[in-house]
Structure 1
Amino acid sequence: MKFVDQLGADETIEHWDRRHRRLGALRSGGDAGYDEFSNEIFYSVRLGRLLDIIGDRTEYAAPLRILDAGCGKGWFAHSMARFGHAVDGIDVSEHAIELCRANATGHSSFHLSPLADWQPPYLYDVVYSIDVLFHIMDDALWEASVLNLAALVRLGGLLLVVDHESDVDRTWSFYQRTRALQRYQSLLEPVGLQVDRFVPYGFRGAPTGFLVLQRVF
């Protein structure tokens, strides 16, 4: 099904800034169809899956350097910083980034930037993007975003992207398009990232989860 009014890049920025201003801390970056209690569980489940992948060890003298790509109001980034990691968070919503900065904890910093444009002076141990990429409707921008995030991962580091576990692309609405896992694989393997596994959320039967890739060259 084709949605003729699907969001362009500028419209997407406006949509998410309005959403972050209008909705509460959890529903704005979670599932707007869930109540606050369900979103509390939803966030906790996703954080648990993230820790299953990254691991539960940290080192104060040499913390993991992590990028939260599309951090929203910072729930996951703040959690990672409290765990002792060094975290950068980026998002296109000015309002969300203002809140992130106001609530920053530990070794964390937050920046207004699209995923495709972020260029820090260092690489990351872990780059993750939670429930963001399937809101990029334009395929060229989606590809540029994925490739830029991949370029920020150090040798041996991890890229975690969230999408549906599917072998076909599908447009769900004017602001949601999921891509086949094979598309990520064909895009990223030539630039040195190898698929490790898919970790489903396991939340209320949804096919969503983390595609885990590791930089091997």
Structure 2
Amino acid sequence: MTDAALDPDAPLGHWDARHREQDELAAGGHPDLDRPGNELFYALRLGTLLTLVGDLHSPAAPLFVLDAGCGSGYFARALDRCGHRVDAIDASQEAIDRARAAGDGPRYTRARLDEWRSPWQYDIVLCVDVLFHLPDDTEWAAALRNLASLVRLTGRLIVTDADTPVPRARDGRIRHRPTDGYRAALEPLGLRHTEFRPYGFRETETGFHVFTRIR
């Protein structure tokens, strides 16, 4: 067994290099798109996300949001500008450094999806284009369970993946799980699947799965 196989942080080298060597949109966007394409890709996802989050806050009672796997902080900063109170985590130190350098707003912390703990639960837990980058099923399930534990009653867990009936793997780094797999993992934890909203961007089959805590 190689040292890389023994090191749980070894895959982070890919993401550290990506955030170090590429601009903020390419690092967390679609690697095959040019900058204008990624501008559109981010804008479309953000518009859909803001619709799903809704306008349920007030200055006296902002929504508490966790952006899990925040990358360079694009969505975290946008939600902060909309008046929400945002925690943002990523396992890549390069990503966190870049997010912090972009300015004040969200509270950024380096943490894996399966290890983040919070003294409070969140109204919204968001995880955009991250879970399908966890090809190991055990790691995926641990991350999903932890994110679910952070959602308050009537709150929402919003994760992105393809709406596929069967698992599909691509290029060794991506594994799309079936929608029923998400339901099977989350319904026993008290979260009901309430919506799938596709990105509607070019050929991508990925979209937002919305789970609402009902108990």
Q: Is the TM-score greater than 0.5?
A: yes
**TM superposition shift of 1:77:** 0.3
Q: 1:196 aligns with which of 194, 197, 200?
A: 194
Provide the residue aligned with 1:20 in structure 2: 19
Q: 1:152: which partner in 2?
A: 150
Q: Distance in 2 between matches of 1:192 and 1:104?
A: 36
Match of 2:119 in 1: 121
Residues 164-211 of structure 1 show CA distances to partners (whole Å, capped at 9, x for unaligned) of: 010100111121111001000001000100000100000003110011
Q: Secondary structure at the match of 2:67?
A: strand
Q: Which runs of 5+ in 2 are unaligned?
A: none
Q: CA deviation at 1:105?
A: 3.2
TM-score when normalising by structure 2: 0.94
SS in structure 2 opposite 1:168? coil
Q: Is the 8 A contact 2:56 2:63 kept in 1?
A: no
Q: Which has the higher contact order (CA 8 A, sep 6+)?
A: 1
Q: Give the equivalent residue in structure 1 for 2:185.
A: 187
User: After alignment, is 50-59 or 122-131 more displaced?
Assistant: 50-59
Q: CA RMSD in A?
A: 1.3
| Cα 1:29–1:140 shift into 2, 3 Å | same
Q: Which residue of 2 aligns with 1:166?
A: 164
Identity of aligned residues (%): 45
Letter in 2 for 1:183: G
Q: After superposition, where does 1:133-152 map in structure 2 within 5 Å?
A: 133-152=131-150
Q: Does 1:206 align with 2:196?
A: no
Distance 1:57 1:105, change over 3 A: farther
Partners of 1:21 and 1:103 in 2: CA distance: 14
TM-fit CA distance, 1:120: 0.9
Cα offset, 1:143, TM superposition? 0.1
In the alignment of these two chains, the number of paired residues is 210
**Runs of 4+ that moved beyond 3 A:** none
Residues 61-72 of structure 1: matches in 2 within 5 Å?
Answer: 61-72=60-71
Who is 2:28 aligned against? 29
How far off its partner does 1:9 sit? 4.1
1:16: how far off? 0.6
Aligned to 2:128: 130
2: distance between equivalents of 1:28 and 1:197? 28
* CA–CA separation in structure 2 for the residues paired with 1:173 and 1:98: 28
Unaligned runs of at least 5 residues, structure 1: 1-5
* Counterpart Cα distance in 1 of 2:36 and 2:55: 25
